[in-house]
């Protein structure tokens, strides 16, 4: 999915790789295996917004070592990381600028 979007937007390989790693990290570490996860992509004129969820409640706000490492990793991969509420569940919103490849 990320590779197809990156191709359509002519994103550089490094950015595509960073976005893919960010999404995989959220899915692997913060989405409950018993629930269906959803990935929503919104392409704006200058930014790509990705929402992944629902995530485990407060999975990135407990500030345990693993959560702090995940937040640092995500912050290195994308420009903005936020926990947002949608439909009574927490979601993770990732945002990155669109860079020409």
- Indicate the domain borders of the chain: 2-97
Q: What is the CATH number of domain 2-97?
A: 3.30.565.10
- Whether 59 has a pLDDT exceeding 90, the answer reads no
Q: What is the pLDDT of residue 57?
A: 73
Q: What is the pLDDT of residue 16?
A: 94
Give me the sheet containing 89-97, strands edge to edge: 38-43, 47-55, 89-97, 80-86
Lowest mean pLDDT among 25-29, 34-38, 64-68, 75-79: 64-68
Q: Are 19 and 27 in contact (CB under 8 A)?
A: no
Q: What is the pLDDT of residue 62?
A: 52
What's the whole-model pTM score?
0.85
pLDDT band at 31 (very low <50, low <70, confident <90, very high): confident
Task: Report how far residue 81's alpha carbon sits from residue 71's, in angstroms, rounded to the nearest whole number.
Answer: 8
Q: Mean pLDDT for the chain?
A: 87
- Whether 42 has a pLDDT exceeding 60, the answer reads yes
Q: What is the pLDDT of residue 32?
A: 78
């Amino acid at each position: 999915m990320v590779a197809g979007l990156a191709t359509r937007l002519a994103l550089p390989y490094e950015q595509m790789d960073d976005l893919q790693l960010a999404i995989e990290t959220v899915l692997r570490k913060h989405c409950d295996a018993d629930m269906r996860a959803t990935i929503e992509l919104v392409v704006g004129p200058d930014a790509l917004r990705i929402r992944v969820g629902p995530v485990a409640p407060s999975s990135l706000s407990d500030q345990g070592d693993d959560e702090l490492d995940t937040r640092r990793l995500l912050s290195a991969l994308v420009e903005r990381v936020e926990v947002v509420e949608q439909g009574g569940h927490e979601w993770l919103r990732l945002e990155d600028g669109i860079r020409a490849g």
